[in-house]
Amino acid sequence: MCYHIFAFIAGFVLDLLIGDPHFIPHPVRLIGSLISFLDKRLNCDAGYNISEKKLNLTKYKRGMLLAFTVIFATFAMSVIILVAAYSINLYAGVIAEAVMTWQILATKCLRVESMRVYDALRTDGVDAGRRAVSMIVGRDTSVLDESGVTRAAVETIAENTSDGVIAPMLYTAIGGPVLGFVYKAVNTMDSMLGYKNDKYMYFGRFAARLDDVVNFIPARISAYLMIAAAFIGGRQFDGKNAYRIFKRDRFNHASPNSAQTESVCAGALRVQLAGDAVYFGKLVKKKYIGDGLREIEYEDIKRANRLMYITAFLCELLSVAVMSLGLILL
For 225, the 3-state DSSP assignment is helix
Task: Report d(CA 211, CA 213) in Å as an integer.
Answer: 5
Tell me if 261 sits within 8 A of 162, measured CB to CB: yes
- How much is the pLDDT for 311? 98
Q: What is the mean pLDDT of residues 296-324?
A: 96
The whole-number average pLDDT for the span 275-292 is 80
CA 30 to chain CA centroid, Å, is: 17
Secondary structure of residue 74 in the 3-state scheme: helix
Mean pLDDT, residues 48-74 = 89
Q: How confident is the model at residue 326 (pLDDT cuts 50, 70, 90)?
A: confident
Residues paired with residue 278 on neighbouring β-strands, in sequence order: 283
Mean pLDDT (whole number) for 42-69? 83
pLDDT at 217: 97
> Running DSSP on this structure, what letter comes out for residue 162?
I
What DSSP state is assigned to residue 44?
A: -
Residue 176 pLDDT more than 70? yes
Residue 45 has pLDDT above 70, yes or no: no
> Pseudo-torsion of CA 240, 245, 251, 252, nearest 10°?
-160
Identify residue 96 by its one-letter amino acid code.
A
pLDDT of 263 strictly over 70: yes
Backbone angles phi, psi at 307, to 5 degrees: -65, -40
Mean pLDDT of 12-19: 95
Residue 133 has pLDDT above 80, yes or no: yes
Question: Residue-wise over 272-301: b if at least 16 C-beta within 10 A, else e?
Answer: bbbbebeeeeeeeeeeebbbeeeebebebb
Q: What is the pLDDT of residue 22?
A: 79
Residue 281 has pLDDT above 70, yes or no: no
What is the pLDDT confidence band of residue 142, given thresholds at 50, 70 and 90?
A: confident
Q: How far apart are CA 284 and CA 40, in angstroms?
A: 27
42 or 276, which is more confident: 42
- DSSP string for residues in 234-249: -TTS-HHHHHHHHHHH
Tell whether the model's pLDDT for residue 70 goes beyond 60: yes
- 208-237 pLDDT per residue, tens: 999 999 999 999 999 999 999 999 999 999
pLDDT score, position 49: 65
The helix/strand/coil state of 253 is coil
Question: Residue 134 has what DSSP assignment?
Answer: T
H or E element that contains 172: helix 167-193
More confident residue, 60 or 48: 60
In whole angstroms, give the CA distance from residue 15 to residue 1. Answer: 21
Query: For residue 327, what pLDDT is reported?
Result: 83
Confirm if 183 and 168 have CB atoms less than 8 A apart: yes
User: Whole-model pTM?
Assistant: 0.93
Average pLDDT rounded to a whole number, residues 266-288: 83
Half-sphere exposure of 274 (CA within 13 A, CB side): 26
Residue 95 confidence (pLDDT): 97
Asked whether residue 80 carries a pLDDT value surpassing 80, the answer given is yes
Q: How far, in Å, CA of 192 to CA of 8, rounded?
A: 28
**Three-class SS of residue 130?**
helix
Other CB atoms within a 10 A radius of the CB of residue 117 amount to 29
Distance between CA 303 and CA 157 in Å, rounded? 10
